[in-house]
Homo-oligomer: A and B are copies of this chain.
């Protein structure tokens, strides 16, 4: 899905002028907007899933709905916020029996209830289409930080620890297995995860709001998203691909062949839905420990540097940047 004009360029050239300079739009440089209302504030994010682009036509409908919720939830948590309301636009293919819409709603409701800590569906729009299934969700969140502000892509400082929750690469491996591009043997957990990747539990938002100077969710690929955080913050990024946290399945996949090319596949595969966070060096120990107490694994994968751009290392040796760093549009 790589294109001549990148998604970021497209957004900046076409859509950013339409913000009319509204400060809470962050010039469309961030993942959410901030709407202030007499001092109190909310954040808003919007993500869609499209049949054939973001999911396979025969994916179970409840998993498609879960994927939609989690794409949005991932942005909200990464900004240090708790989801408070969701809205759904659903373009439902005439060819899909109406009765199966209940399966979609089952996954939707279950994720909004459990993963999103009882986030209500507050409205939306359902229409029939002769085309593909398309679903767009708008999710609203309340920032946890005492400032009332979301954690942005900008704000990281040289010297900050770059850390990630959970593991990276399972969504990529699971999708490759489902597409028949690699053997599915011993990748059952990755296949399940890839159908509807999950961000960390919502309680993580409070710790991100308290500790992270900058944060975004890794959805397009770890390397590309790390470069976005660095660019927005005006810092360079050093990423140790040997430090990337992996599941046992992903670790076995990496060990089967040349490690570096396989690690680069995982670091550019995307759909991980894990917050990538810049944490002050002196805070990192406490942040990691408190995260562990709520059951969330946090791993240092790099560091913010004076300068710009991303440099990759593996076992203290520099690694050339791969041509594909993540997904754009």
- Taking Cβ atoms with an 8 Å cutoff, the residues of A that contact B are 1, 3-5, 7, 10-11, 14-15, 17-22, 24-25, 28, 32-33, 35, 37-42, 44-48, 50-54, 84-85, 87-89, 91, 98, 101-102, 105, 108-109, 112-113, 118, 120-132, 134, 136, 138, 140, 329
Contacts and interface: CB of A to CB of B under 8 A. Distances in A.
A66 to B, nearest CB: 13
Contacts of A40: 37-38, 40
B131 A45 contact: no
Question: Copies per complex?
Answer: 2
A5, A33, A91, most chain B CB atoms within 10 A: A91
Contact of A14 (B32, B85, B105, B123): B105
A37 B34 CA distance: 14
A48 B131 CA distance: 14
A122 B91 contact: no
A120 B20 contact: yes
17 contacts: A1-B128, A3-B98, A11-B126, A24-B85, A24-B122, A33-B85, A37-B42, A44-B85, A44-B122, A44-B140, A46-B125, A50-B134, A52-B129, A53-B129, A89-B89, A128-B329, A136-B136
Contacts of A35: 42, 84-85, 122, 140
A42 B87 CA distance: 14
A198 to B, nearest CB: 19
A105 B18 contact: yes
